[in-house]
Amino acid sequence: MMEEDNFSPEERAAIYRCIRERRDVRRNFLPDPVPPDVLARVLAAGHAAPSVGFLQPWNFIVIRESATKEALHAAFTRANAEAAAMFEGERAELYRSLKLEGLREAPLLLCVTCERERAGPVVLGRTHQSEMDIYSTVCAVENIWLAARAENLGVGWVSILALADLHRILAIPDPIVPIALLCMGYVDHFAHKPDLERTGWRKRLALDDLVFEERFGEREKTPVSG
Amino acid sequence: MMEEDNFSPEERAAIYRCIRERRDVRRNFLPDPVPPDVLARVLAAGHAAPSVGFLQPWNFIVIRESATKEALHAAFTRANAEAAAMFEGERAELYRSLKLEGLREAPLLLCVTCERERAGPVVLGRTHQSEMDIYSTVCAVENIWLAARAENLGVGWVSILALADLHRILAIPDPIVPIALLCMGYVDHFAHKPDLERTGWRKRLALDDLVFEERFGEREKTPVSG
């Protein structure tokens, strides 16, 4: 290993801190705009994601107009009413109490899409696992999310919308796949825990229970946390 | 924003460096084992990924035995012969010259899977975009990749295998979806550019060409790089 390739302990700590303190943010957005140079760095982080066959299949739609945000919010509201009806009793009550989007409050929305035919039908690395280009685009979303956290920007992934509404409102042609709609902006604080953990929707699983050795279902002899 | 929530310029630079210098590594692995505490940190980074409905749908299979690596390599070899036949002329020649896996050389392989039914059929946030749990798992893969880079570990995503072979070799039950097979280990150096860029397989696209404003296909008035 060449010395200059190494990350220092301080750099490593910063990266782990960012991964640990990234949150899915749907509230507490401040109205301050995201400066163009900050947005450019965050988008460049997305563009630096790994991609199958170096396809770089992504596009980034930056949304700032109120009319677009309102249309997306209306689509969310329709979908969320359908979603709420799928839960029962106390779960339905808790569901309805959750804030699951920040589409109107966030100063900026970002839609990340995947163009599957960007290099024709045959793509190196996609020949046997056909979803690899979609996965590449998701890696770009996670890079954006982490870069945004490093810029002290909150990001929330809003998935409670029909894909047909995303296509229509954002004029996304049919062969292009919308992957993520993100709300983004400065926030007054970052929560210490995920909202769904804090509100008791679901518990944090123990990492040791999720790790297998050699084959699915076979436990580590020594817990990873040991 | 509370001051302690902020990332310092030095921390931010470390995060961008990690995103920029992450590489898809399939060669130059050293035989040194990955220490258990390092692996535990890398897996914890995966487990810290965002997940739809806080589902945490992932499992991590850690593979160290030669017999398993050889079986995976044989599955790669079969798939790669089929893949190579899909390209023609100079592309086929270039394809055959590429090193597309490091399954036998890497001291450790990691398979990341997605259990879609971990919380039953109805999942908050998956009601209208059914692939969200898969996307969550891909976010875990990208976290692992970045954490590994911060630990000076190379990671390569090997996708040229039939999913049926992954199910069989790693005893992954049918309802569980294999998402990524990663080879991981210390390396003698990290390449400055992606292999597929360096070898001329595909060019790096210009970020400005990938960014739209408000709607798909509408250009930014000011380039993001400006």
What pLDDT shows up at residue B2? 63
| pLDDT, one tens digit for every residue, chain A (226 residues) | 567 889 999 999 999 999 999 999 999 999 999 999 999 999 999 999 999 999 999 999 999 999 999 999 999 999 999 999 999 999 999 999 999 999 999 999 999 999 999 999 999 999 999 999 999 999 999 999 999 999 999 999 999 999 999 999 999 999 999 999 999 999 999 999 999 999 999 999 999 999 999 999 999 666 666 5
**Chain A, nearest residue to B30 by Cα:** A1
Alpha helices in A85-122 (DSSP H): 89-97
Q: Please count the residue pairs, one from chain A and one from chain B, whose beta carbons lie less than 8 angstroms apart.
A: 324
What pLDDT shows up at residue A220? 65
Tell me the pLDDT tens digit for each residue of B9-42. 999 999 999 999 999 999 999 999 999 999 999 9
Q: Is residue A149 in a domain?
A: yes
User: Could you tell me the two tokens for A105?
Assistant: 């409050």
Alpha-carbon gap, residue A8 to A29, rounded angstroms: 33
Among candidates A15, A18, A210 on the partner chain, residue whose Cβ is nearest the Cβ of B59: A210
Tell me the pLDDT tens digit for each residue of B53-92. 999 999 999 999 999 999 999 999 999 999 999 999 999 9
SS3 label, residue A21: helix
Alpha-carbon gap, residue A173 to A66, rounded angstroms: 22
Q: Is residue A219 in a domain?
A: no
What pLDDT shows up at residue A85? 97
Type of residue at A29: F
What pLDDT shows up at residue B1? 56
Q: Give the gap in angstroms from C-alpha A128 to the nearest C-alpha of chain B.
A: 5
Alpha-carbon gap, residue B107 to B89, rounded angstroms: 35
SS3 label, residue B59: strand
Put simply, whether B131 touches A (Cβ < 8 Å) is yes
Q: Which of A13, A6, A22 lies closest to A142 in space, CA to CA?
A: A22
Q: Is residue A1 in a domain?
A: no
Alpha-carbon gap, residue B74 to B164, rounded angstroms: 13
Tell me which chain A residues have a C-beta less than 8 angstroms from the C-beta of B161: 128-129
Q: Is residue A51 in a domain?
A: yes
Q: Whole-prediction pTM value?
A: 0.97
Angle of the B89-97 helix axis to the B66-84 helix axis, nearest 10: 170
End-to-end CA distance of chain B: 28
Alpha helices in B151-226 (DSSP H): 163-169, 195-198
Q: What is the largest CA-CA distance in chain B?
A: 59
Instruction: Look at B16 and A122 and tell me if their CB atoms are within 8 Å.
Output: no
pLDDT bucket at B221, cuts 50 / 70 / 90? low
Tell me the pLDDT tens digit for each residue of B95-132. 999 999 999 999 999 999 999 999 999 999 999 999 99
Burial of B219 (0-12, 13-18, 19+ CB in 10 A): exposed
Q: Is residue B167 in a domain?
A: yes
Q: Which of A155, A133, A134 lies closest to A144 in space, CA to CA?
A: A155
Domain of B72, CATH number, reads 3.40.109.10
Tell me which chain B residues have a C-beta less than 8 angstroms from the C-beta of A181: none
What pLDDT shows up at residue A1? 57
Alpha-carbon gap, residue B40 to B50, rounded angstroms: 18
Q: Is residue A89 in a domain?
A: yes
Tell me which chain A residues have a C-beta less than 8 angstroms from the C-beta of B21: 5
What pLDDT shows up at residue B220? 65
Instruction: Look at A159 and B129 and tell me if their CB atoms are within 8 Å.
Output: yes
Instruction: Look at B17 and A36 and tell me if their CB atoms are within 8 Å.
Output: no
Angle of the A36-47 helix axis to the A132-150 helix axis, nearest 10: 140
What pLDDT shows up at residue B56? 98
Instruction: Look at B59 and A216 and tell me if their CB atoms are within 8 Å.
Output: yes
DSSP string, B83-95: HHTTS-HHHHHHH
Alpha-carbon gap, residue B14 to A6, rounded angstroms: 11
Distant-in-sequence, close-in-space partners of B214: CB < 8 Å, separation ≥ 6? A61, A62, A63, A64, A65, A68, A170
Phi, psi at residue B173, to the nearest 5°?
-60, 155
Range of the domain at A66: 23-191
Residues 20-59 of A with CB under 8 A from B: 20-22, 24, 30, 36, 39-41, 43-45, 47-50, 52-56, 58-59
Q: Is residue A8 in a domain?
A: no
Among candidates A138, A189, A202 on the partner chain, residue whose Cβ is nearest the Cβ of B1: A189
Q: How many domains does chain A have?
A: 1
Read off the DSSP letter of residue A109. Answer: E
Bridge partners (DSSP) of residue B186 are B153
Q: With beta carbons less than 8 A apart as the criterion, state whether B6 and A152 touch.
A: yes
SS3 label, residue B182: strand
Q: Which of A118, A84, A190, A18 lies closest to B18 in space, CA to CA?
A: A18
Among candidates A39, A53, A79 on the partner chain, residue whose Cβ is nearest the Cβ of B224: A39
Q: Is residue A5 in a domain?
A: no
Tell me the pLDDT tens digit for each residue of B139-176. 999 999 999 999 999 999 999 999 999 999 999 999 99
Alpha-carbon gap, residue B224 to B226, rounded angstroms: 5
Distances (CA, A) of B114 to A11, A195, A204, B132, B179: 30, 22, 16, 11, 7
Q: With beta carbons less than 8 A apart as the criterion, state whether A55 and B201 touch.
A: no
